Chains A and B, each alone.
Chain A
Amino acid sequence: MSRSATATTSTAESAKSTSSRPSSLHLLFNNKLATAGLIVFGLIVLVALAAPLLPLANPDATAPVDRLLRPLSDGHLLGTDALGRDILSRLIWGTRVSLAVGISATLIAAFFGSMIGLVAGYAGGRIDTLLMRGIDMVMAFPYILLALAIVAVLGPGLLNALYAIAVVNIPFFARNIRGIALGLSRREFVDAARLSGKSHPQILFLEVLPNVLPVIIITMSTTIGWMVLETAGLSFLGLGAQPPQADLGSMLGDGRKILFTAPHVSIIPGLMIFALVMSINLLGDGVRDVLDPRLKSGALTRPVARTAVIRDSVPQIAEPDANAVLDVRDLKTEFAFGGEIFKAVGGVDMSVGQGECLGIVGESGSGKSVSAMSIMGLVPTPPGRITGGVALLEGEDLFAATDERIRQLRGSAVSHVFQDPLSTLHPLFTVGDQLVEAIQAHQSLSGSEARAKAADLLKLVRIPNPAERLNAYPHELSGGMRQRVCIAMALADDARVIIADEPTTALDVTVQAQVLALLDTLRKERNAGILFITHDFGVVSAICDRVAVMYAGKFVETGKTEDILSSPAHPYTAKLIDCVPVLGQPERRLDAIEGRPPVVNKLPIGCAFAPRCPRAQDDCRAAPIPITRFGDGRTVRCIHPLTGEAANA
């Protein structure tokens, strides 16, 4: 019964309203320069399109009597050129031609270039080599020479100039698109499409192309301006538009000879080219920023060096824990996205003693990493901020400390070890350089002294031949060795607390056992506390003295590892232990937790686990659940706990 009930809630939860992410258009309008570009470009295009409807003089009608009239003269708003033709009229008709040529050339180049890029990237191997070497040959000529050569062969004229510009720009598209297609073709969904019975052309055009399309549009938006310029360039040289037809380049060319006597003849088309190309480029950059997935998720907003702390009041600690190196009380961290507040951490108390290992266990999204990152202000602001609580490092409130003080403490008294050592270490520096850097950041040692210390650190983390290994680059080491280097770096100065965020999740089991053993020895040798974040109760058993189980931003149960594993008090803890297969007990039927964790922007008033809990009653949903203390330093946030001892406490 409970199964079907929870299944429906999960459906209801997933059928949530559409996301509150701002639309692409909205994002574009947020960018002031792009909006200005859009307005200018829109105006120019409108005027150019409306040219036949506007009361303009015939752009090609010569009137030698009225030659070289200045702007604002009677009947000729922008004056006339050397043959007495109306410049305003020629400007508008010329812009029309330039735009048409620029846009068509872009479309042609985009079509053929993308096609070549897609096929080369998808097919790979010989076809790729053949196509791309062809493209390289086109690129080996300076573009203007190539365009000149093409026009020379085909003869001057606008259409030929258009072909020349399109051909010259094909490599640009081909190379861009090939790179993207190459990456996409190795993705798993392409393999999946093959196994679904799709043929190669179907995969290329129905699976890969839709994913490449944004890149094609981005590339087009950033090249149209360039194409308009090139058209103008060829026409300026007399190879594009032929007299009497006007385009911006030929107008500029006409005015060149009389630049000093009648500057307006060349300055006006020049300004138009500038306005047109500038507006297109601004708009193109704006479009790229909106569409490019790499720039989307806030990569352009630079987070500040430390998480903002906005505390209403500093809680007074009644009974500071004398033994604790790190003592965190009522920590609250929030993220603000598009008008909504996500309460990632909603009041967490934790303390780590000397040489003690505290494990934080929880599923992804439960707030365990955010809790740990908040301590040293490593949560990115914006959008994150700490809204309450204190973090005491040996009595010092870290949230009240100055930025300079935090900078000193980071990596010395409190250091971090992250999940993926390959992305933590810089690929271009040797591990020795990186260790020396970490050491010298906190101690004024000479180069050779720091290097000797670095070798000592590698020895400390049991890396064989430490002096030699200092010269190794991260890619030359195995995953386990890399993680050892990261641990060595965390010990570069006198670490009091090591915050280890899933440090063994990316490692193989045999290597994981080695790294866990190393951490276990080191914390005893150095008397440093470890805050160990993991999702695996097996790993917790291996190293942690105490464990805190986290759910929806709060600790739901804390206590000694053995106690919690043998008699969990919170139903969530019990479920979390029961849903994992245990080595040596293959017959055990796995007890899955139905439903999904709540989203932290809409937390219920009562227990966040109640919708998934088999023991939930009405009072669980009515009010916030207080923490109950019982037994040997255990706490549980449940009013219907599983153990009698907790129920009676």
Chain B
Amino acid sequence: MPDAPLLSIENAERVFGGGRTMFGQPKPAVHAVQDVTITVRKGETLGVVGESGCGKSTLARMIVGLDAPSAGRIVFDGRDIVKEARGDLRRLSREVQYVFQDPVASLNPRKTIRAILEAPLRHLRKLDKAQRETRLEELMEAVNLAPEFLGRYPHEFSGGQAQRIGIARALAADPKLIVLDEPVSALDVSVQAQVLNILDDLKRRFGLTYVFISHDLSVVESVSDRVAVMYFGRIVEIGPGRTVFRTPRHPYTHLLLDSAPAPGRRLRASEDANTELPDPYDPPPGCAFYARCPRGTDKCIAQVPPLELMSDEADHRAACFHPHEAQ
């Protein structure tokens, strides 16, 4: 079975809050992630796009074991990682690593870069001093930073350099899969390109697999093999990157693509100001996008549209009863 997925998420769900108070009143609950099923194949980059609050960061934290799903399974390389992470996170951390959005906040201000990068080598890889030294040099070289930087503190670095250190830390454990949660959105545009190029380079050199989360459609389009679009905790469309961006089927994907600013493009007609995001404490029945959707019908309020294969191409799925036509 050559094409077995490296990571598969099956019907994952994450509920925050909930339960009952001391007096038996139900507490408000938010479904951050609902019924998400994704597979990631070895060597590919899966892009996840969506707006703030759509659950993409929660999904990322569940994959690396920082958070556990309320229901569903996450299987990495044949192992159920939810159970595994509950017992000991280290085994999972050797294979799945994470790059944070805010490069400066993810580095302890009172630790030198050497101490930060040594931690995974010492605790996850159990390397001795000489091996660590060689590996540190390799890591700094891989992210294109001078070895002299090892003795410095995080505040001495610019955002782009700090993010490269964050990437080096993720690489240190020699993982198979790296989850990148908005890795370039805190960076200046010129630096963003440097970091994206380094990520691309590392992927080819070390045969990595990425889950790349971002709200920036153009960044996701440029890095991803496959793309998943999330809305309100659910995946509304998923498929090969090119297909999803060229022939989006879900109206929400359409709206996203039309709203994204692009150089040389005047403003396109935007939707009405009346449209508000659904209230997460009081989710609407049926399709969560219904209130904003120009194609909605009664069927959309009655039931949640399932994520179904679209006819045009294998592997292109959308959760919509009235999808746009393939052009």
CA distance A575 to B100 in the complex (A): 27
> B301 at interface (Cβ–Cβ under 8 A)?
no
Contact A363 B190, beta carbon cutoff 8 Å: yes
CB-CB under 8 A from B94, the residues of chain A are 197
CB-CB under 8 A from B107, the residues of chain A are 189, 192
- Shortest distance in angstroms between B239's beta carbon and chain A's nearest beta carbon? 14
Contact A509 B215, beta carbon cutoff 8 Å: yes
User: When the two chains form the complex, which single residue of A15, A581, A591 contacts B148, counting CB atoms closer than 8 Å?
Assistant: A15
> A579 at interface (Cβ–Cβ under 8 A)?
yes
User: When the two chains form the complex, which single residue of B51, B245, B273 contacts A583, counting CB atoms closer than 8 Å?
Assistant: B245
CB-CB under 8 A from A188, the residues of chain B are 100-102, 105-106
- Shortest distance in angstroms between B127's beta carbon and chain A's nearest beta carbon? 12
Residue of B nearest to A535 (CB): B189
Interface flags, B84-123, vs A, CB<8A=1, else 0:
0000011001100110111001111111000010011011
* Chain B residues with a Cβ closer than 8 Å to the other chain, count: 79
Contact A537 B263, beta carbon cutoff 8 Å: yes
CB-CB under 8 A from A194, the residues of chain B are 66, 89, 93
Contact B270 A580, beta carbon cutoff 8 Å: no
Residue of B nearest to A590 (CB): B193
CB-CB under 8 A from B131, the residues of chain A are none
> A196 at interface (Cβ–Cβ under 8 A)?
yes
> B222 at interface (Cβ–Cβ under 8 A)?
yes
Please choose the segment from A319-327, A415-423, A510-518, A619-627 that sits at the chain B interface, where 4 or more of its residues have CB less than 8 A away.
A510-518
Contact of A516 with B97 at beta-carbon distance under 8 Å, contacts A196-B124, A196-B169, A197-B119 already known? no
Interface flags, A334-376, vs B, CB<8A=1, else 0:
0000000000000000000000000000011000000000000
Contact B196 A590, beta carbon cutoff 8 Å: yes
CA distance A535 to B190 in the complex (A): 10
User: When the two chains form the complex, which single residue of A514, A543, A588, A593 contacts B222, counting CB atoms closer than 8 Å?
Assistant: A588
> B202 at interface (Cβ–Cβ under 8 A)?
no
> A508 at interface (Cβ–Cβ under 8 A)?
yes
Which of the listed residues B160, B166, B194 has the most CB atoms from chain A within 10 Å of its own CB? Answer: B194
How many of chain A's residues touch chain B, expressed as a range? Answer: 35 or more
CA distance A267 to B317 in the complex (A): 87
Contact B273 A198, beta carbon cutoff 8 Å: no
CA distance A187 to B144 in the complex (A): 27
Contact of A512 with B261 at beta-carbon distance under 8 Å, contacts A192-B107, A581-B218 already known? yes
Contact of A510 with B100 at beta-carbon distance under 8 Å, contacts A207-B108, A580-B189, A584-B262 already known? no
> B24 at interface (Cβ–Cβ under 8 A)?
no
CA distance A345 to B194 in the complex (A): 27
List which A587-645 residues lie within 8 A (CB) of chain B.
588, 590-594, 596
> B256 at interface (Cβ–Cβ under 8 A)?
yes
> A52 at interface (Cβ–Cβ under 8 A)?
no
Contact B119 A517, beta carbon cutoff 8 Å: no
Interface flags, A188-227, vs B, CB<8A=1, else 0:
1101111111100010000100110000000000000000
> B255 at interface (Cβ–Cβ under 8 A)?
yes
CB-CB under 8 A from A565, the residues of chain B are 263-264
> A443 at interface (Cβ–Cβ under 8 A)?
no
> A562 at interface (Cβ–Cβ under 8 A)?
yes
- Shortest distance in angstroms between A24's beta carbon and chain B's nearest beta carbon? 15
Binding site for A on B (CB under 8 A): 51-52, 64-66, 89-90, 93-94, 97-98, 100-102, 105-111, 116, 119-120, 122-124, 144, 146, 148-149, 156-158, 160-161, 166, 169, 172-173, 188-194, 196-197, 215, 217-219, 221-222, 241-242, 245, 255-271, 273-274, 276-277
Binding site for B on A (CB under 8 A): 7, 11, 14-15, 187-189, 191-198, 202, 207, 210-211, 363-364, 462-464, 478-481, 484, 508-514, 516-518, 520, 535-543, 562, 565-566, 575-577, 579-584, 586, 588, 590-594, 596
